[in-house]
Structure 1
Amino acid sequence: MKLIIVLIAISCFVHTCQGTCNQLDRDSLSSFNLSISTTSPLNWSLSIDCCTWEGVGCDDSGRVTNLWLPSRGLQGSISPSIVNLNSLSQFNLSHNSLVGPLPDGFFVSLKRLQVIDLSRNRLSGKPALSDKLSTTIHTFNLSSNHFHGTIQSSFLQTTLNLETFDVSNNDFSGVIPSIICTFSSSIQSLDFSNNDFTGPIPQGFGQCTELQSFRAGFSNLSGEVPQDIYRLLMLQELYLPGNRLSGKIDKRIVNLSNLKILALYGNELTGMIPQDIGRLSRLERLQLHINQLEGTIPPSLTNCKRLTTLNLRVNSLEVDLGNNFFTGRLPTSLFSCKTLKAIRLASNELIGEILPNIVELQSLSLLSLSNNSLTNIKSAIKILTGCKNLSTLILSKNFYDEELPSNESLIDPEGFQNLQVLALGGCRFTGAVPMWLLKLDKLEVIDLSFNNITGSIPGWIGILPNLFYLDLSHNLLSGYFPMELSRLRRLGSQQNSDEVNSSSLELPVFVQPNNVSNLQYNQLSNLPPAIYLGNNNIGGTIPVEIGQLKFIISLDLSNNNFSGTIPDKISNLTNLEKLDLSGNQLTGQIPASLQNLNFLSEFSVAYNNLEGPIPGGGQFDTFPSSSFEGNPRLCGRILQRSCLNPHVNEPRDPEEKDDIINWLSFGIGYGVSLIVTMLAVFKRSLL
């Protein structure tokens, strides 16, 4: 008997003893399971105890306390039955593809929540952020969804233990709730970025004395930075870019002695940079670009020994890095800053070649020299392979009319082994897509747009294991759409899509060289998974295998020579937001299945040879008539062309008109002859 007790104790120690699953919780989980789907089904067999189900944890009484299923490729909605799990404390469904609203009574019923993480889904609606949040909550994350509404102060009144609050990348409106610090003085991280808040940042955040990260970038905020922010002595990150903040940078900024990241770019700040800003000795990133600052760069910045990123472009400073009409060659003094991780000298008037000394910057991760007048692309590529840590290389709008070297031997086996972003757009390069790209296993983004590259798209691009963004638009490419592109690993599955690096870049990346001031990305994970092949001479049919790119968001095949029908398999691209097939020679009907692409916001099949009815319902009711113009055989309400007589307004070919007249003449003549003959026969019969 003692042996049995010992064995049970050992088993409990190794596996954590749990009671048999509560029947109500079991039924609630079963209902939740019915409301979702996944390519790799959950191991939730009704024949076993639900406390042993994947991602489920229970307490000793059999009540479900954990539901932990991040990055499982879940689709569907969150079942209302979830509110019955009133012992739930750990709830994580992040990095999936869930849609729809939160169930009614969600926050009222789940009183024991400690962790809620629903980030990186497509949930929507107006969550009840007026109900009181659980007193036990310490991590609250609804980021990267489509939620809207206001955050009421009553929602935060009981959050005594809150440490992390993240509602970034949604559509929340109203005023940022600084009252959160009245109830949660121990909070460490606040993120309100990328929402539609209004008004100034209110006073009150100074009460969050333990706050280490305060983020509210790109949220439509105005006014000055509140004074009590400068009391946050534990603050390590102040991230407020892309708003309409005004006034001066207060001298008291130097009180934030633990500050590592200061990002105030893209605002309307005026005056001078505080001259003793160098007292922020722990500063690693200082981003004040795109403001109205003036004066000189403070010499005290030389005291910031840990500074790896400095961006002051687009101001009125006497010395700057970008957009400041620098002339001449790359300054050799730059290479003495051995610890530099990021350099942007874009949009100046630099000339000459990239010097071999640049390889002395062994920490260099990002180099942007776009929109200058540099020469000798072949030499530049060979030299830059020596920068072993280089992950982002942007040389767009340079090297005009040179031939892009294609030889695979240009890159040695150790070259560019950390390169993730390569932008060589807008250079009017001639030649072919370079073979040496095949060696760059970590490459995630390729931009060769707006060049004069010829030949076909090589199939080997499809085997680049990390590529998720390819822009070959506005070139002279011919041939076919290679089926290998449909096998791009990062565009084929949720798991591979989630592997995209979500950390912040040292400096923002601008894509598409003709729009460098508008399309800015601070993380690679924010770039839309995309294939842009528009404005080339690519022909043949669109392969049905394209339906394998289930996580692509933008697909542009416009202004080419594609023929045949639109593959019905495109309806498998359920994450697609932009689809442009205009300016081709496509025939047949628009597949009705495309109306199931619920996230499609931009669509065009203009100027093809399509026919039949335009699908109705879903997103198709939102597209303008210009999406379908230039297809005289298409019909439907949007074109004000009835499908009962779709060709009523169709202009006829002059030759077709002549053929009709000839047939009418023949028919009339034949008819008259037939009548005369019959009358003669009739007359003879009478005789």
Structure 2
Amino acid sequence: MQPTRNLPLLHPVLLLFLLLVLTTPSFGDDSAAMSALLAALKPTPSGWSPTTAYCNWSGVSCSPSRYVTSITLSSKSLSGTLPSSISNLSSLATLSLQGNQLSGTIPAFPPSVQALYLDSNNFTSVTSLAGLTNLQTLSITQNINLAPWSLPSSLSASSSLAKIYAGSSNLVGTIPDFLGSLQSLAELRLSYNNLTGALPGSFSGSSIQFLWLNNQVGAGLSGGISVLSSMQQLSQVWLQKNGFSGEIPDLSNCVNLFDLQLRDNSFTGLVPSSLLSMKNLLNVSLDNNKLQGPVPSSSGSMKLTYDGNRFCRNSSGPCDSQVMIMLQVAGGLGYPLTLADSWTGNDACGGWSFVGCQGTNVTSITLSKQGFNGTISPAFVNLTSLRTLLLNNNNLTGSIPQGLTSLPNLQVFDVSNNNLSGTVPVFPASVKFTSSGNPFLGKNITGDSGSGSGGNSSSPSGSSGGSKVSAGVIVGVVVGVLIVVLIMLFVSYKFLYVKRKHTKFSRVGNPELGLPATKTGAGMVNALNNGYAGVPSELQSQSSGDHSEFPVFDGGNVSIPIEVLRQVTNNFSDDNILGRGGFGVVYRGELHDGTKIAVKRMHAPDGKYSVETRLAGTFGYLAPEYAATGRVTTKVDVFAFGVVLMELITGRKALDDAFPDEKAHLVTWFRRVLINKENIPKAIDQTLNPDEETLESIIKVSELAGHCTAREPFQRPDMGHAVNMLVPLVEQWKPLRQEEDENEGIDLHMSLPQMVQGWHASEGTSSTFDNMSFSYTQVSIPPKPSGFPDSFSSSDCR
């Protein structure tokens, strides 16, 4: 047996060296992938050699540890393919191969890639674009040999993606919805492909600035383009040579838009006046569509082209009044292509399809079984010679305009087999009215019975007070109303919270009137501060008589005896007036525990206070569903707010018997005015005498008032939406001179958000707007104030 030998021990330094070799990545990890790329490219790129370190190759950049970070071989007349091993270049950030003749499959790339420039090659397929979480630019334009493909949903993980250039790359199918959710996406250029379908609704509010979707092969993209109106970052829009249809939306919020190409589509309807007054819009092409109405005229430096449309005249000038009425009828139906193709020229009795005339007057309109969508336009009311109106067997929705009952010559009216709803108007016995086949018509409807006797009335309105009202006063009142609404929404929740913590109280009689204190009486109160918790004890301490209980909550409002209200408002002193409305005066007050309140002392048109029956009728007119249900809801408030706006704009009362019946009801009359924007300047209070910029703001407020007073509650906007629309107008407006005394110390040079912040700071109160983002140019209104439970909704405000 041989003796055992002892193995020599390794020197510590040698042991450390071996350990480092085993645990440290070897230099040149990218050598295999770069060698494969070298072999795949033909001819060999200049400056590339297998005998030279790849980090020294022309167009190749490496990190200090010799990992490839960029490869730039653009326009080198290269052919060949890209090896799949390119995905092993773990530090590759930029790959620029555009302008060559590379073919085969586009391989997968490492997650490190930030920019891919593969355009103007001959690739035939795309393997995968998954896992590119750092990708910022994808350029694959001019790869006409690609097999039909779509942008993969895996790109939705590329949250930093800012630019997608994929024109002429054989894209098919619809535009992926996920593109609208990429918050960094600023440029989307997909021209000259085979895309179909509509613009994704997810584009609403996106950050896209450059949108190129023009020249799609075949049928092309279709549908409406209303989503563009909410894409406020847009700078350039190319939609030419597609199948888009419907109206051109109001793009006035897209203030950076300078180039709009809409030619060679199927757009119908009138060219929006707001489009022609956009200050930064330089190029607009509307050629070869089916646009209607008067010929548009641009101003300033705008280059506008519009040949090949359906305008009523060949030159500028107004259309015939009867033609404009018929176009309003078509507008209710969404300006269908069928009517745009037929209703051309400036004579509605000049051979228009579906239209019958006697002499020069339209006497019959037969639109049966045409598959039309939309609503029945109130403009029908202006066709006073109309005898026969057939709208049956379509897909019409909405209500039947009440004003149709007043058509003097109407004999036959058929709306059967549609999807109409609302109240069924009562027609004279001389009219053969058919409405069968509308399952929702006349059922469970709480709104009014139609849109009234619509039309084009444009008579100047009178002024109820005779005093001159400036545009500044209107804006100031609007600011005040907005702030009160915001505060009341917050306070309503606070009272709900109190209601849950305290015992319920029963009604008490109103000592002054001998009537129960109700939500429409003089005791309509809302706490304005954090002292709301003291309301029950304060009310109990001041109540008189034998009443041991006191009403704290009733339908969202507090009921308080008139004696208490007289005490806290110093007998409704003029010194405590906060504001005046069409149906009462609002006073400030403070209970003994410090709770600040606002009291609206309601009065009927004849000057008598707190007359319940008169108020019920008045509110029934202001908000139709109130008369049917007796409930005050947030949508009733929105309706009332719309009426206030109308009063401010026109200088008229909501109800004024001094006017003829067709004009006595402000809302009904003003709705007819809004049918045609051109009527608005004639309907506003002539003492305003607004300049052009102020008039634009008044028109926007007028349109808002129309939406707020929509027939159905669900059609009215939330107050938050109204605020979002009005705040920019308030921020733009500046007074001609400072009038501190007349405005009770309000700095009218400040924006609405700045004023709110200032008031809270001066009063030392806790702001209910802590979670709002205030700036000079924007205010963001959250769905609910800070601290509200998740279950809280707008209905809880009542």
Superposition TM-score tier, normalisation by shorter sequence: 0.3 to 0.5
The structure carrying a bigger helix percent of its residues is 2
Q: Which has the higher contact order (CA 8 A, sep 6+)?
A: 2
Larger Rg: 2
> What is the TM-score when the length of structure 1 is the normalising length?
0.40
The structure carrying a bigger strand percent of its residues is 1
